[in-house]
Chains A and B, each alone.
Chain A
Amino acid sequence: MQIFLPIADIPVNVFLVLAMGLAVGFISGMFGVGGGFLMTPLLIFIGVQPAVAVASVTSHVAASSFSGAIAYWRRRAIDVTLALTLLAGGIVGSAGGVALFTWLRALDQLDLMIGLSYVTLLGVVGVLMVGESARAIIRSRLGKPAELRRPGSHVWFHGLPLKLRFKRSKVYVSAIPVLAIGFIIGFLGAVMGIGGGFLLVPMLIYLMRVPTATVIGTSMVLTFLTMVSATVLHATTNHLVDAVLALILMIGGVIGAQFGAHAGQRIRGEWLRLLLGLLVLAVGMRFAFQLVVRPDDLYSIRVIGGGL
């Protein structure tokens, strides 16, 4: 069944988009990530303009992370103070990201920037994840105990001024690095159409020493708040959010996420991280390939003055 998307200005098959939502939702539920880094490239692949894809995926990620956040809220696994501090940085970051997005679009370099950011970010994160999880798997195969994280070792930026006590996470650190992390996540989310969960979780665990128990729930709260603000900002500045597209993606996404979460519980943590790492790496490679290989057509055209 074909449906005409009013903002993207193309007809798409509803079931294809729904299936994409389900598949990405399954993966996001399984690994506890938003899935924007998969959804945006998929939409571009089926012919949605990159700008519309990025802007519309923000609301899709908002929906899936909100349903996740509710589940974690019931389990009291959310650190509200931490989420709000991250959000303060995140909103400023989103605004900056949307501004950069608008500027790059005017310069004809948006597609390049999206491609480069994907390659860099996914490449680095993918390699780190695969390396870490592979080591963990080898270690457990050899029968050695899991590596114990050195407890509470302080890093210089923990001691910066504006110290805050994050009660539920049981950490007492400066708000400045927390705000900075929020800024980075918000900025990347707006430019790349990703929730940033796969970046935020390791940052909070390794840099801020936040316990794993509260990390995922808090990350989900931040993701949905930044994605909500990114949706509103994209809608007001670029007018490129396709609500029809977003709704189809959301419905598929939230349903898929439920099944994914179920499947994820049956797989061991390090294997899950290895799979996610490989997936992240594969998407990064796909973008790298596109940038490096001579394109079929050196020319491209763009209507000046918005997608409407």
Chain B
Amino acid sequence: MDDIIQAQNLTKTFKDFKAVDNVSFNVPKGEIFAFLGPNGAGKTTTVKMLTTLLRPTAGTIRLNGIDTVTNSENARKTFGIVFQDPSLDDELTAYENMEFHAVLYKVPRRELKERVEKFLRFVELWDRKKDLVKTFSGGMKRRLEIARGLLHKPEILFLDEPTQGLDPQTRNKIWEYLQNLNKETQITIFFTTHYMEEAEQVAHRVAIMDRGKIIDSGTPTKLKEQTQTKTLEEAFLKLTGTAIRDEEASGTDKLRSHARMWRSR
């Protein structure tokens, strides 16, 4: 089967810092693929490049065969995304957020209502369609974002830490939706997470990233065998070490953001 995500020799440099360093990987169609790594490993940067939000310093990405740099508009039609931080308009209702997305993605008018209803029902938010998003809990917002990401029937769904900060009930529910969808429609799911047991349960294959490089990849079973560990979490810790990673967050951080205020580009 064809690889629906093809990333080759991806590199992203910020000033003198290499966030992603010559990374290559493929994801076949219909796979649930987990992208793991400690904080600051470069996962979010990779996701941003895959979803055309950042331009790679070097390397190429093909989504469903479409180059994301030279043909970004068509590449964008092939995927849906749930970002790490909420990206809904709080001042709009759930329905209006869906409608906004549908029009931007050129969902045909006559299908619009039907499709919005279908996906709002899918995440069990149809009853709340007329409520402003600012009245929603974190879990409801996440579900709405998933419904929104699916609205234009993408072939790939990217999720950047989709279950972060959610209770186990919501987490299970979200994965139940996504696994069902994956079985029914063969949608490819690419996600990042810090919950290793989650990755172990749902992912067909995982890749572990550290310091900008992919250090290992394969099925959870393979990684466990290779490292002679019982759980994916132990395998992960064995591969990446137990030291805590400091993301750049110090006293100088405030100053730095102050200086960045006026972008000098």
Q: Do A and B come from one complex?
A: no
Please report B residues at the A interface, Cβ cutoff 8 Å.
none
Query: Chain A: residues with CB nearer than 8 A to chain B?
Result: none
